[in-house]
Amino acid sequence: MAFAAFATETAKEQTPRRGGKIALLLLVPGLLYLGLFFLVPLFSLVFTSLQAPSGVNFGQFEAAFKIENYAVFGQYSEQILRSFLYAVLATVFALLFSYPLAYFIGVKARPWPLLQNLMLVLVIAPFFISFLLRTIAWKSMLSDESPFVTGLKAISLLAPDAHITGTPFAVVFGLTYNFIPFMTLPLYASLERLDTRYLEAGSDLYAKPFTTFRTVTIPLSMPGIVSGVLLTFIPAAGDYVNASREFLGGTGTAMIGNVIESNFLLSNNYPAAAALSIILMLAILVIVLVYVRVSGTKDLL
C-alpha cells in the first residue's frame, strides 16, 4: 500500500502540472493586454459598424443595428479588389527577392558567420529608420525631377510625359520594398536550419539541382514560406501609406486602407469605415485560412 502511494506520487510529478496558481498569474498580463487592445477595440468596431446617423449633427452617430452599413462593400469593391491584387503582387515579388537572399544568408554563407551576421544586419537595418521616412525618400527618388527618372527619360526608356510616382507600379514597388524584411527573416529562420545532407541525398538519387530545389528545399522551407507570406500579405492588404497620395500612390491607386482612412478622418463616416474594416478583416481571415489549408502547414494555426 505504502509502495503504491509512493509510486503514484512520483508518477504525478512527471506530468506537467496544470492550472498552477503561478502559471495563471503569469498569464494575467498577456490576457489583460489581449482584452484591452484586441477584444475591446474589436467589439467597439463591430458596434460602430452598426451605428446609425443621429440626425442631429453631421458626423454624430447613435447605437443601432443598421446592417445596411455593410453595403459599402459594393461601393468600394474596386478598391477592395485592388488591395488584394497589390498585396498578392507585393507578396510574390517579396518572395522572389527574399528567397535567394535568405538562401544565400542561411545556407551558402554558413562557412562565414561574419558575413551571415553582416547581411542579416543589412536586412534589418532599414527598421532603424522610420517606415514613413523611407517611403518619403522613395517618393523623392522616384519623382519626376529625380536623376533616376530624368535619366530613364534621357535614354528613352520612359516616355517624356510618363511618371513613376502615383502609378500602380510605384505602389506595388513600395509595398514590396517595405515588407521584404518580413519575408526574409522567417525564410532565413527556416533555411538556416535546412540540413544540407538532404540536398546531398537528393543529388545522390539522380535529382538535378533544380529538381532537388523543387522537391526537397522548398517543401522543407515551407514553414518559412508560409509565415513570410502571411507576415507580408496581411499588413500589405491593409496598408494605406504606400498607396496614399502623400506617398507613392495617386488618384487611381487607392486601396481599402485609404478608403477606411478617408471615411474615418475626412468624411467622418465612422460606421462605413468600421464596416469596411470588418470586411477587410474577414476577407483576410478567409484568404489566410484557405492558404494555410492549401499549403498544408496546419501546425502554424
In the three-class reduction of DSSP (H, G, I as helix; E, B as strand; rest coil), residue 109 is classed as coil
117 belongs to the binding site for another protein (CB under 8 A): no
Q: Which of 45, 220, 283, 287 binds another protein (CB under 8 A)?
A: 220
208 belongs to the binding site for another protein (CB under 8 A): yes
Min dist CB 94 to another protein, Å, is 24
207 belongs to the binding site for another protein (CB under 8 A): yes
- State the number of binding residues for another protein (CB under 8 A): 18
Contact between 61 and 52 (Cβ < 8 Å): yes
Phi, psi dihedral angles at 259 (to 5 degrees): -65, -45
Min dist CB 191 to another protein, Å, is 15
Min dist CB 217 to another protein, Å, is 11
The residue among 54 and 196 lying less far from another protein, judged by its C-beta, is: 196
Min dist CB 204 to another protein, Å, is 5
For residues 236 and 88, give the distance between their C-alpha atoms in angstroms, rounded to a whole number.
8
Contact between 184 and 102 (Cβ < 8 Å): yes
Q: At 275, list the grid cell.
A: 464596416
Q: At 128, list the grid cell.
A: 532603424
Phi, psi dihedral angles at 195 (to 5 degrees): -85, 110
The residue among 193 and 245 lying less far from another protein, judged by its C-beta, is: 193
Residue 215 per-residue DSSP state: I
For residues 96 and 79, give the distance between their C-alpha atoms in angstroms, rounded to a whole number.
25
198 belongs to the binding site for another protein (CB under 8 A): yes
Q: Which of 119, 175, 216, 284 binds another protein (CB under 8 A)?
A: 216
For residues 86 and 257, give the distance between their C-alpha atoms in angstroms, rounded to a whole number.
12
128 belongs to the binding site for another protein (CB under 8 A): no
Min dist CB 225 to another protein, Å, is 13
Point out which residues bind another protein (CB under 8 A). Answer: 195, 197-198, 200-208, 211, 215-216, 219-220, 222
